[in-house]
Amino acid sequence: MAFFTLKLSIFFLVLPVVQGKASCDYDATAEKYLLEDLNLYRMSLNLPNFTENNNAACLANNIASQLKNETCKNAFHYSSTIGTKPNVTEYDKLMDGCDIKENHTVQGVILPVCVPRLDPFLVLSNYTTPQYAKYLKNSNYTGIGIGSEDNWMVVVLSTNTSTGNFSGAASLIANVHMATAEKYLLEDLNLYRMSLNLSNFTENNNAACLANNIASQLKNETCKNAFHFSSTPGTKPNVIEYDKLLDGYDIK
Ligand SMILES: *[C@@H]1O[C@H](CO)[C@@H](O)[C@H](O)[C@H]1NC(C)=O
Ligand SMILES: *[C@@H]1O[C@H](CO)[C@@H](O)[C@H](O)[C@H]1NC(C)=O
Ligand SMILES: *[C@@H]1O[C@H](CO)[C@@H](O)[C@H](O)[C@H]1NC(C)=O
Ligand SMILES: *[C@@H]1O[C@H](CO)[C@@H](O)[C@H](O)[C@H]1NC(C)=O
Ligand SMILES: *[C@@H]1O[C@H](CO)[C@@H](O)[C@H](O)[C@H]1NC(C)=O
Ligand SMILES: *[C@@H]1O[C@H](CO)[C@@H](O)[C@H](O)[C@H]1NC(C)=O
Ligand SMILES: *[C@@H]1O[C@H](CO)[C@@H](O)[C@H](O)[C@H]1NC(C)=O
Ligand SMILES: *[C@@H]1O[C@H](CO)[C@@H](O)[C@H](O)[C@H]1NC(C)=O
Ligand SMILES: *[C@@H]1O[C@H](CO)[C@@H](O)[C@H](O)[C@H]1NC(C)=O
Ligand SMILES: *[C@@H]1O[C@H](CO)[C@@H](O)[C@H](O)[C@H]1NC(C)=O
Ligand SMILES: *[C@@H]1O[C@H](CO)[C@@H](O)[C@H](O)[C@H]1NC(C)=O
């Protein structure tokens, strides 16, 4: 009960920030606060915080976008517990897309909830129902990945053992490097801006989502003509289904 009082006071602060934004940065905010709240919940149980697991987050995002056209009626039907796969179309492909090997997922759990506009209080209430809370309370789960799309929030909990850490083969390392590569590029570009007496770039979540989509649309292309795919003010990039990529993120 103390947990819920604590949450409520946090959400009164969070809600005004969250409402009325485009879906992409709205989602990122909702995910961020859910992570914080789930960790406060873990603290209240004297359990260590969840650590973020990039592979699990990739899978959570893929599942959320697979679910986005489903109604909220049967959200529990799409969960999966130890040793089972979620009832999601093309689940194996979704795992592949995140470089996850199935043997590393057996102990993991996938917990989707569906709440209109991802109202943070209702999302958290759903995660603290006994059906899901029993996994949050289990010290075997040490890692977390969170993804969302439209009304769907997906939490993937991972263990720190090889049967549940959602790792892949060598390609996992590529993923980790990628996040690191992005981080250093941002830092370097900002140092470049500073050297020109220009203000730092601030991060734009909508733009980041679009950048990720374009990168995955381009991944099969050779490096030869990278400049061909750029776009400047008033032009669109030469990328297949560019308009769909935009629509997916409520960008005009
Ligand atoms: C655990 O997470 C909570 C919520 O984000 C944070 O306040 C706390 O500092 C974290 N504890 C540790 C040890 O990182
Ligand atoms: C969801 O519906 C939209 C519009 O009908 C469609 O373009 C999209 O492919 C659907 N997505 C999935 C994952 O079914
Ligand atoms: C899987 O989901 C579909 C709807 O997408 C539903 O009709 C079917 O009953 C579900 N199967 C199981 C085993 O839950
Ligand atoms: C996955 O686990 C099964 C059963 O333990 C084993 O037979 C199989 O070889 C494993 N696959 C890989 C790719 O490690
Ligand atoms: C979550 O909450 C919403 C609204 O309160 C409800 O419609 C839905 O059935 C609940 N369950 C899940 C698993 O999302
Ligand atoms: C944690 O994992 C171990 C080894 O798989 C298992 O024996 C134990 O029952 C699990 N603990 C809980 C609380 O699920
Ligand atoms: C895995 O997590 C358990 C429970 O939090 C912890 O006791 C153990 O030291 C961890 N093992 C590794 C290899 O991180
Ligand atoms: C998962 O476990 C395997 C085997 O213990 C290890 O090689 C790999 O680094 C782990 N991956 C993560 C993300 O913890
Ligand atoms: C701008 O970015 C650089 C590189 O990340 C950082 O060192 C610097 O503190 C930033 N300046 C401001 C005003 O945030
Ligand atoms: C940046 O501003 C500093 C202080 O105003 C000045 O000395 C320096 O020449 C400027 N550098 C550039 C590249 O404009
Ligand atoms: C890239 O190639 C893989 C394997 O051939 C294929 O499954 C995937 O759909 C391709 N992706 C794009 C964006 O063309």
Residue scoring higher pLDDT (79 or 9): 79
103 lines ligand 3 (CB under 6 A): no
Q: Are residues 117 and 182 in the same domain?
A: no
pLDDT recorded at residue 170: 41
Q: Which protein residue's CA is at the shortest distance from atom 7 of ligand 9?
A: 191
Which of 158, 190, 223 delimits the end of a domain? 158
Q: Which region among 7-21, 37-51, 55-69, 98-112 has the lowest average model confidence (pLDDT)?
A: 7-21
pTM, two decimals, is 0.66
In this structure, what CATH number is given to the domain that contains residue 57? 3.40.33.10
Q: Are residues 154 and 186 in the same domain?
A: no
Q: Which protein residue's CA is at the shortest distance from atom 12 of ligand 7?
A: 160
Mean pLDDT of 166-175: 55
Q: Is residue 153 part of a domain?
A: yes
At 129, list the tokens: 């129902």
Distance 62 CA to ligand 8 centre (A): 21
213 lines ligand 8 (CB under 6 A): no
Domain assignment of residue 32, given as a range:
2-158
Ligand 5 interacting residues, C-beta cut-off 6 A: 72, 75-76, 113-115, 122, 126
Neighbours of 140 (CB within 10 A): 13
pLDDT recorded at residue 236: 82
Q: Are residues 184 and 146 in the same domain?
A: no
Q: Are residues 112 and 209 in the same domain?
A: no
- Give the pLDDT confidence of 7-28 residue by residue, as tens digits: 433 433 333 333 333 334 446 7
Hey, what amino acid is at 19?
Q
Q: Are residues 187 and 139 in the same domain?
A: no
- Give the pLDDT confidence of 135-157 residue by residue, as tens digits: 999 999 999 999 999 999 999 99
For residue 174, pLDDT beyond 50: no
Which of 119, 136, 158 delimits the end of a domain? 158
Q: Are residues 147 and 183 in the same domain?
A: no
Q: Which protein residue's CA is at the shortest distance from atom 9 of ligand 3?
A: 77
Q: Are residues 125 and 19 in the same domain?
A: yes
Q: Are residues 182 and 153 in the same domain?
A: no
DSSP state of 106: T
pLDDT recorded at residue 229: 80
pLDDT recorded at residue 179: 61
Assign 5 a pLDDT band (cuts: 50, 70, 90): very low
Q: Which protein residue's CA is at the shortest distance from atom 11 of ligand 1?
A: 49
Number of domains in the chain: 2
- Give the pLDDT confidence of 186-234 residue by residue, as tens digits: 888 888 888 888 988 877 656 766 776 677 777 777 787 787 888 888 7
Question: Looking at the chain, how many residues does it have?
Answer: 252
Q: Is residue 166 part of a domain?
A: no
Q: Is residue 140 part of a domain?
A: yes
Residues contacting 55, CB < 8 A, separation 6+: 98, 99, 100, 145, 158, 166, 167, 168, 172, 175
Residue scoring higher pLDDT (63 or 210): 63
Assign 172 a pLDDT band (cuts: 50, 70, 90): very low
What's the mean per-residue pLDDT of the chain? 80
Q: Are residues 44 and 71 in the same domain?
A: yes
Q: Is residue 164 part of a domain?
A: no
Ligand 6 interacting residues, C-beta cut-off 6 A: 138, 140
Residue scoring higher pLDDT (137 or 181): 137
At 132, list the tokens: 């899901």
Distance 200 CA to ligand 9 centre (A): 6
103 lines ligand 4 (CB under 6 A): yes
Hey, what amino acid is at 13?
L
- Give the pLDDT confidence of 84-99 residue by residue, as tens digits: 999 998 898 888 888 8
Q: Which helix (H) or strand (E) holds 111?
A: strand 109-114
- Closest by Cα among 174, 210, 167 to 56: 167
pLDDT recorded at residue 183: 75
At 166, list the tokens: 């959602």
Residue scoring higher pLDDT (190 or 175): 190
pLDDT recorded at residue 180: 67
Atom from ligand 9 closest to the CA of residue 190: 2
The share of the chain scoring above pLDDT 70, in percent, equals 77
Q: Is residue 26 part of a domain?
A: yes
- Closest by Cα among 72, 100, 71 to 85: 100
Q: Are residues 148 and 182 in the same domain?
A: no
Burial of 117 (0-12, 13-18, 19+ CB in 10 A): middle
Q: Are residues 128 and 206 in the same domain?
A: no
